[in-house]
Amino acid sequence: MKIHNIAYTCLTQFCEKDLGEKPILQWIHKDLSETSFTYSDFETESNKIANVLESLEINNEDIVTIFLPRSPLLISSYFGILKRQAISCILFSSLGEDALLDRLSNSQSKILITKNSLVRKILAIKEDLPDLKAILVVDIDEHKDHFVLSLNKLMGEVESIHKYPHQLDPETPAFLQYTSGSTGKPKGALHVHGAIQDIIQSFKEIIQLAHDDTYWCTADPAWITGLSYGIIAPLSTTAASIQFGGNYNADHWLKILKDKNVTVWYTAPTALRMLMQEDEKKFDVVRSNSLKRIYSVGEPLNPEIYHWGKKTFGTEVYDNWWQSETGSIMIANHPGLAVKPGSMGKPRSGIDAFIMDDDMKPRPVGLQGHLTLHRGWRSMFRTYYHKEDAYAEKFHDSIYITGDLAYQDEDGYFWYVSRSDDVINTAGHLVGPFEVESALLEIDEIGDAAVIGVDDPLLHKKIIAFVVLPNDVIWDRTLELKCRIYISNKVSTVATPSEIIVTDKIPKNQSGKILRRVLRAVYEGEDPGDISTME
Amino acid sequence: MGITEKLTEVFREVFDDETINLHEKMTADNVDAWDSLSHVNLMIAIELAFDIEFKQNEIQSFANVGELEKCINEKLIIKE
C-alpha cells in the first residue's frame, strides 16, 4: 500500500483542491508585526527549493540539514527537501560547533541551509565534513564562493513548479531527529513518511481542534513537537495556526494569546514555570479571553504548575508524553478523560504501554519500572541513523524501552518518575552528560570533568558540572566564565551548567565509568550508598 | 577604550562572533545565541570586564544594548 508524501498531504493536495489561497498560518515576527501565509505560498517556495536541490543533484535519501531559527523559510525548506524524497534534518540554531560536527558528520549531510550569521560555525568545522557539498544561505543575495551559495539567487533561477511523485512507500525515510544519549554522541532518530498517519490521528484524538479554533504551538521545529504538531499536524488538517518567530518573552506571549484570540495552546512546563514568576496582574488580559485549553509536553507537569495554569488561565491544562523516537503523542491527558494532576494520562488509541522490571517482565500496578511500548505504531523511529547497534539496544523482542521510569495506577493512568539513564532533561531539552564533559575536557585548565542533572524548580533538571584542576591552575570567576562560554558556544546554550564545582577527584568505578549517583549524593548532601566499586 | 568598544569585545567573546557590532536599539532578537541562558554568561563577562556588579533585579531589566550601556556608565561613575 502506498501513501502520500508528507509534502503532498500538508501542501500540494490543498492547492489541487483550490484551497491554495486559504490563509493557513499567521506568522508573528520578532517585532510583533505579522505576515499571513497560504498553502500556495509554502507550495511555491518549497517547489523552488526542491528545484534548487535537484540542480545540486540532491536525490532520494540524501540528507539535507536545516540550521535556521524558526522562520517561514524553514517550513518551505522542510517541504522542499521532502519533495525531492531527500531526508530533512532540522537542527537548533543555538547549537555550537562541536554539537554541529557530531550531527553533521553522523548524518553525512550533503547540503546545509542556514543564515549568514551562522555560516562561520559551519566553516569552522568544514574540513571534517567531507560529504558537505554546499551551504545555502537564506539572507545573502550573491554567492560568496563555490561552497557558500545564495539561496535567494538560486531560487530566482529555477521554476516555481516542481513535479514529484505524490505517492510513495510508507517506509520511505522523511526526517531525522537528533536526540542525546547518556553515553556517546547524539543519535539521529530516523522517521518515515508513514509517520504522518499517526501524527494526524493523535492530533485529532488529543488536541481535538474545532474548525473555528486558533491554535498556537510554541515549540521550535528543531524539537519534534514543533515539527509534528507545529507544522505537519495543523497544515495537514487545515487548522488555522499561528507561529511566533521570537524567543520566550512573557509580555509578547501574553499579548499574542490575547490579540490573536488563541483558543488551543500547546507549550511546555518550563514556559509555564517561567510565566509563573511574572506579576499576577499581567495575566488579567488573558484570564477572560478565548483560550479553551492548554497542552504541555517536554517534562513532567507537576501539580503545582497544573493548578497555577488552571487558575491563571481559567482553563484545563493537559500534560502529554512522547519522545523524538516515538514521532507522535503516546500517552496523554485530553478532553473526555478526567485529569489526575501530575499524571501523564493514558495511552492514546492503538498504543500499548507497559511498566516492566529489569528483566522485561510486567510490574504490578503501583510499582515503578521501565516505561515500555509495544513496537509497531506508524510514527515509530526506524533506526538511529548509522547507529544500528544503539537502535537494537532500545528493544527487547517487540518491546521498545523508552529510557523513562514510571508507574501505572489502578485506574490505568501513567505517572512519570525519572529517566532510567543519565540523560538530563533541562527545560525540555535532552542533554547528554558526555557532550558537556567532552567540551570541558577540551579546555586546557580542566583536568577531569563529570556532569549530572539535579532537580530544579524552574528547569526540571539543572546541569551541575564537577571539574578537577591540575595543581598549577587556580579557579576563579574568569576561568568559570571561560568554561561557561566554551560549553555555550561549542555545545549549546541549554547545555551550560548552572553550577561548576571544583573537586579533588571524579568518582569512577574500576573500569573508569563515572559514578554519577555518588556525585548527585554529594551535591544533595546525602549518603552516596555503596561505593565498593569505586576505584 | 570607550564603553561601546569594550562592550563590543565582550559580546564578541561571549557569543563567539567577530561580526557583532553593537548599536543602542540592539536586543537579544538581533544576536543568534543570545537567550536567557547565555545572558547569564554575558552579565558575568561584563562584570569582570568593567569590574562592576549588577544587582539581581538589574540582570533581566535591560530592554536593549542602549539601556545596558547606560547602566554600565552609571556604575562606572559611582565607582570613580
Looking at this protein, which amino acid is placed at residue A434?
F
> What ipTM score was computed for the predicted complex, to two decimals?
0.92
Instruction: Say what the pLDDT of residue B18 is.
Output: 87
Query: Tell me: the pLDDT tens digits for A421-465?
Result: 889 999 888 898 988 998 999 999 999 999 999 999 889 999 999
Instruction: Say what the pLDDT of residue A287 is.
Output: 73
Inter-chain residue contact A496 with B15, CB threshold 8 Å: no
Q: Tell me how far apart the alpha carbons of residues A13 and A100 are, in angstroms, rounded to a whole number.
A: 35
**A384: exposed, middle or buried (C-beta count within 10 Å: 0-12, 13-18, 19+)?**
buried
Inter-chain residue contact A247 with B37, CB threshold 8 Å: no
Q: Which among A94, A115, A484 has CB closest to B41?
A: A484
Asked if the C-beta of B37 comes within 8 angstroms of chain A's C-beta atoms, the answer is yes
- DSSP letter at A231? I
Instruction: Say what the pLDDT of residue A185 is.
Output: 83
Asked if the C-beta of B51 comes within 8 angstroms of chain A's C-beta atoms, the answer is no
Interface of A with B in 455-494 (CB under 8 A): 477-478, 480-481, 484-485, 488-489, 493-494
Q: Which residues pair with A372 in a beta bridge?
A: A354, A401
Inter-chain residue contact A117 with B19, CB threshold 8 Å: yes
In Å, how far are A30, A135, A428 from A138, measured between CA atoms? 17, 10, 28
Query: Dihedral (C-alpha) A487, A490, A494, A498: value to the nearest 10 degrees?
Result: 0
With 80 as the cut, is the pLDDT of residue B63 above it?
yes
For residue B45, which residues of chain A lie inside 8 Å, CB to CB?
481, 485
Pairing of strands A316-321, A293-296: parallel
| Domain B3-79, CATH number (from 3.40.50.720, 3.30.450.20, 3.30.420.10, 1.10.1200.10) | 1.10.1200.10
Q: Which three cell numbers stand for residue A35?
A: 505576515
Q: Rounded to a whole number, what is the distance in Å from the CA of A172 to chain B's nearest CA?
A: 34
Q: Which residues pair with A463 in a beta bridge?
A: A453
* Mutation target vs A (from B17, B19, B37; most A CBs, 10 A cutoff): B37
Q: Which residues pair with A265 in a beta bridge?
A: A216, A294
Instruction: Say what the pLDDT of residue A509 is.
Output: 82
With 70 as the cut, is the pLDDT of residue A506 above it?
yes
Asked if the C-beta of B13 comes within 8 angstroms of chain A's C-beta atoms, the answer is yes
Closest CA in chain B for residue A274: B36
Domain boundaries, chain B: 3-79
Inter-chain residue contact A489 with B33, CB threshold 8 Å: yes
Mean pLDDT of chain A: 94
Higher pLDDT, B1 or A219: A219
Q: Which residue has the cell 558526555?
A: A434
Pairing of strands A369-374, A353-356: antiparallel
Domains of chain A: 3-14+38-192 (3.40.50.980), 195-419 (3.40.50.12780), 426-524 (3.30.300.30)
In Å, how far are A42, A54, A247, A476, A516 from A71, measured between CA atoms? 12, 23, 12, 40, 39
In Å, how far are A238, A261, A332, A352, A486 from A213, measured between CA atoms? 11, 9, 20, 30, 44
Asked if the C-beta of A247 comes within 8 angstroms of chain B's C-beta atoms, the answer is yes
With 80 as the cut, is the pLDDT of residue A474 above it?
yes
The helix-helix angle for A433-441 and A97-107 (nearest 10°) equals 120
Q: For chain A, give the percent of residues with pLDDT over 90.
A: 85
Q: What string of DSSP letters covers A509-529?
A: BTTS-B-HHHHHHHHHT----
With 80 as the cut, is the pLDDT of residue A528 above it?
no
Q: For chain A, give the percent of residues with pLDDT over 70.
A: 98
With 90 as the cut, is the pLDDT of residue A121 above it?
yes
Inter-chain residue contact A494 with B17, CB threshold 8 Å: no
Asked if the C-beta of A117 comes within 8 angstroms of chain B's C-beta atoms, the answer is yes
Asked if the C-beta of A118 comes within 8 angstroms of chain B's C-beta atoms, the answer is yes
In sequence order, what are the residues at sequence separation of 6 or more whose Cβ sits closer than 8 angstroms to the Cβ of residue A78?
A: A46, A66, A88, A90, A175, A221, A227, A231
pLDDT-based confidence at residue A11 (cuts at 50, 70, 90): very high
Instruction: Say what the pLDDT of residue A197 is.
Output: 98
Inter-chain residue contact A485 with B32, CB threshold 8 Å: no
